[in-house]
């Protein structure tokens, strides 16, 4: 790159910055590539813009529409990913490293778009039910709702994943209607700026929903209120400093940290060098040491192995590491790139010196380390370094000092309890891996390891065919960990969205709760009409539209016929003597017969707007139905979700959840469930 550009911040809808400030260098050859901008950011303007413009713009949409925007944005970025890959090379990342950052980040947008579409309502109130009766006569009930906080989210990210780190926080907060201010780490902020320029150019994001800060956050944190939220990814030391910001404490601003931690991998005592699991263990450790040049918050820093196998593990790791080609990531065959900067190189060097005191270096720079490529002598390349600590129970350094690069320390143990004790010495980690063949060992070890690790990855031959690996946080599962790891949670599916919403308890009559939540609450007023609810189009249906069916008396013939059709000849339905000795004292109908009979009572069979029944939730059989009992059903429109989709003919569809209550002749509830249907729109 010959022209050195000045990076810009995106503040209040405009790009800010023209005067050069801090120089940024290529990790590969140390060439000057960018400058940060010298202009100071008016953070009062940024915060006001987020609150006055971003919040109203996002609140004009609902969860479903915001999920649709995330999907469209993901598609837009995916079409332009090669531009990002090219810039990512400057950070020292290989193509596989960049894949995690670029397509991993875009994939996270896709994942949250999908989860939001499936699991969130077409409103801005998320009902966390079910409602519960708070009085004896049915007139007073309570439930919980989650609503947008009305504030903004400040996301402070680390240098190692400039795209994924930003997008994995942006996606759930955007779904929660929180405008974001993103602050990437300066060293690799040029890659974040590139993707934000794409996002801005797409025109897909509502005005004020995203702002970018290049450089210092200044007094930004001092301007936040209790409606806002702060997330941080980076070092434990920086997290500790930010956490005690006086304004954050005074206003109880939620602060979530995901900090670097001394993650571990445990080779269980049942695994021998002849087992496939042994090689899986070695491969996983080597991959975590060299992927992203070891610059991952989830990287394996401590390798915990049985004392009798330490030499075998060391030898196989040496063999693997010796084959790793280090150099310019744009060159074919290079498997490990550079650290992100020369500052990072100096930091890792200092920490390796500290770790080496009293320990052995099993593999390192002396073992033929020679990066390939033009100008790499000036780059931030660091040799994969494997250390060995033979007395880890009495060596605090290996459990306290983290070299944030391709560095890991082997340590020995005798007995699984000692291995778990060593794992816990990390004082809280993001992830641990247990490699074992024995389910009994996993059953014993995982609950113990889970107390000090945010995620536990069990690896053996069966899981290996699909495993995403030790160091891959997934959008569907929690990412974060206790203690040193920051004590926070990220990702985890819709749980992450809930972190950015405000939970409130609501009390009132069932009718009032139904109005507030947008869901029918049992005991609330219903609307009955001559038009069957299944004859109404999606737009015409209203929450509370209801049908009380005619009655049906269950006969012995019904039970016999259902048994013959289903093949279910369970004694409670057919053996008069055995049934008489049971807790029910008599023969009873199949639960699934009751379910089927109820459908026969409420279904409108002719073609109409209801296209398909595609699910059933929360099924419970409450009271047994005996021969001679008479049942009826109440079908009520519980919830509508407009997923803004059309079929292949261009006909719009929505999802409707129906509350079904089946009662007997004594008005006792015998079955309770929700059914989910696709319902056609008029247009």
Annotated catalytic residues are 258, 297
Distance, in Å, from the CA atom of 352 to the CA atom of 350, rounded to the nearest integer, reads: 6
Q: Which helix (H) or strand (E) covers residue 630, if one does?
A: strand 630-646
Contact in structure between 377 and 417 (CB atoms under 8 Å): no
Where does 291-425 have alpha helices with state H? 310-322, 342-356, 397-400, 416-424
Contact in structure between 286 and 317 (CB atoms under 8 Å): yes
Distance, in Å, from the CA atom of 150 to the CA atom of 177, rounded to the nearest integer, reads: 8
Instruction: Please report where in the chains the tokens 């005996």 appear, as a residue.
Output: 626
Instruction: Please report where in the chains the tokens 């065959």 appear, as a residue.
Output: 333
Distance, in Å, from the CA atom of 376 to the CA atom of 79, rounded to the nearest integer, reads: 31
Q: Angle 476-267-448 (CA atoms, 0-180°, nearest 5)?
A: 60
Where does 474-616 have alpha helices with state H? 494-499, 510-517, 556-566, 571-574, 576-580, 591-602
Q: Angle 402-384-430 (CA atoms, 0-180°, nearest 5)?
A: 35
Contact in structure between 587 and 579 (CB atoms under 8 Å): yes
- What is the phi-psi region of residue 521: left when phi exceeds 0, alpha when psi lies from -120 to 50, beta otherwise? beta
For 197-209, give the DSSP string.
HHHHHHT-SPTTS
Distance, in Å, from the CA atom of 396 to the CA atom of 357, rounded to the nearest integer, reads: 12
In Å, how far are 297, 562, 620, 625 from 569, measured between CA atoms? Answer: 56, 9, 21, 16
In Å, how far are 37, 480, 487 from 232, measured between CA atoms? Answer: 23, 11, 11
Q: What SS3 class is residue 495?
A: helix
Length of the chain: 683
Distance, in Å, from the CA atom of 217 to the CA atom of 518, rounded to the nearest integer, reads: 40
For 449-493, give the DSSP string.
HHTTEEEEEEE-HHHHTT---TT---TTSEE--SGGG-S--EEST
Distance, in Å, from the CA atom of 658 to the CA atom of 639, rounded to the nearest integer, reads: 7
The tokens describing 487, both together, are 């004590």
The tokens describing 227, both together, are 């409606």
Distance, in Å, from the CA atom of 208 to the CA atom of 596, rounded to the nearest integer, reads: 51
Contact in structure between 110 and 71 (CB atoms under 8 Å): yes
Contact in structure between 58 and 207 (CB atoms under 8 Å): no
- DSSP letter for 60, please: T
Distance, in Å, from the CA atom of 80 to the CA atom of 200, rounded to the nearest integer, reads: 13
The tokens describing 505, both together, are 């308890």
Q: Which residue, 615, 27, 50, 5, is CA-closest to 378?
A: 27
Alpha-carbon dihedral sign for residues 335, 341, 344, 348? positive
Q: Which residue, 149, 122, 123, 152, is CA-closest to 54?
A: 152
List strands edge to edge, sheet with 300-306: 360-363, 385-389, 407-413, 300-306, 263-267, 429-435, 453-459
């Amino acid at each position: 790159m010959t022209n050195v550009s000045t990076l810009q911040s995106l503040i209040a809808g405009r790009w800010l910055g023209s005067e050069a400030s801090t120089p940024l260098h290529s990790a590969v050859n140390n060439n000057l590539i960018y400058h940060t901008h010298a202009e100071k950011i008016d953070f009062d303007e940024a915060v006001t813009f987020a609150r006055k413009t971003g919040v109203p713009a996002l609140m004009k949409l609902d969860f479903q529409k915001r999920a649709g925007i995330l999907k469209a944005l993901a598609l837009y970025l995916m079409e332009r990913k090669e531009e990002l890959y090219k810039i990512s090379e400057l950070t020292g990342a290989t193509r596989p490293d960049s894949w995690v950052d670029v397509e991993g980040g875009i994939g996270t947008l896709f994942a949250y778009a999908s989860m939001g579409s499936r699991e969130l309502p077409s409103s801005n109130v998320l009902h966390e039910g079910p409602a519960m009766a708070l009085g004896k006569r049915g007139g007073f009930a309570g439930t919980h709702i989650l609503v947008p906080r009305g504030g903004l989210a400040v996301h402070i990210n680390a240098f190692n994943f400039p795209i994924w780190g930003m997008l994995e926080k942006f996606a759930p907060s955007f779904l929660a209607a929180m405008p974001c201010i993103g602050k990437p780490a300066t060293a690799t902020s040029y890659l974040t700026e590139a993707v934000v320029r794409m996002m801005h150019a797409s025109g897909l994001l509502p005005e004020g929903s995203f702002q970018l800060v290049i450089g210092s956050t200044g007094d930004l944190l001092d301007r936040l209120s209790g409606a806002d939220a702060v997330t941080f990814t980076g070092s434990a030391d920086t997290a500790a400093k930010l956490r005690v910001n006086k304004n954050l404490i005074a206003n109880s601003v939620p602060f979530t940290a995901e900090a670097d931690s001394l993650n571990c991998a445990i080779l269980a005592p049942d695994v021998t060098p002849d087992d496939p699991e042994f090689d899986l263990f070695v491969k996983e450790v080597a991959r975590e040491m060299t992927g992203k040049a070891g610059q991952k918050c989830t990287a394996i820093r401590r390798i915990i192995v049985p004392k009798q196998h330490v030499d075998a593990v060391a030898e196989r790791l040496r063999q693997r590491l010796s084959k790793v080609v280090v150099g310019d990531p744009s060159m074919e065959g290079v498997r490990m790139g550079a650290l992100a900067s020369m500052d990072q190189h100096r930091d890792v060097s200092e920490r390796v010196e500290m770790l080496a005191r009293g320990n052995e270096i099993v593999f390192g720079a002396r073992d033929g380390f020679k990066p390939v490529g033009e100008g790499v002598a000036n780059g931030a390349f660091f040799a994969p370094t494997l250390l060995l600590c033979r007395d880890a129970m009495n060596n605090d350094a290996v459990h306290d000092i983290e070299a944030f690069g391709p560095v890991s320390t082997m340590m020995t143990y005798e007995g699984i309890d000692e291995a778990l004790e060593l794992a816990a010495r990390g004082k809280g980690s993001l992830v641990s891996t247990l490699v074992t063949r024995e389910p009994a060992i996993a059953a014993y070890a995982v609950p113990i390891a889970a107390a000090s690790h945010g995620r536990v990855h069990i690896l053996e031959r069966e899981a290996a065919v699909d495993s995403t690996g030790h160091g891959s946080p997934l959008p569907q599962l929690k990412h974060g960990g206790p203690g040193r790891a920051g004590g926070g949670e990220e990702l985890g599916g819709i749980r992450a969205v809930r972190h950015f919403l405000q939970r409130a308890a609501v009390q009132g009559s069932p009718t009032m709760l139904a109005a507030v939540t947008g869901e029918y609450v049992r005991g609330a007023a219903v609307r009955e009409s001559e038009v069957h609810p299944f004859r109404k189009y999606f737009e015409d249906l209203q929450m509370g539209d209801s049908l009380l069916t005619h009655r049906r008396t269950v006969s012995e013939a019904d039970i016999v016929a259902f048994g013959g059709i289903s093949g279910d000849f369970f004694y409670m339905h057919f053996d008069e003597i055995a049934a008489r000795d049971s807790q029910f004292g008599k023969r009873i109908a199949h639960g699934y017969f009751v379910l089927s009979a109820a459908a026969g009572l409420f279904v409108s069979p002719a073609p109409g707007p209801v296209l398909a029944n595609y699910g059933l939730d929360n099924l419970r059989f409450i009271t047994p139905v005996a021969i001679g009992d008479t049942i009826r059903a109440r079908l009520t429109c519980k919830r509508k979700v407009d997923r803004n989709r059309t079929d292949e003919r261009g006909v719009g569809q929505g999802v409707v959840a129906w509350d079904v209550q089946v009662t007997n002749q004594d008005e006792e509830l015998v079955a309770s469930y929700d059914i989910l249907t696709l319902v056609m729109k008029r247009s």
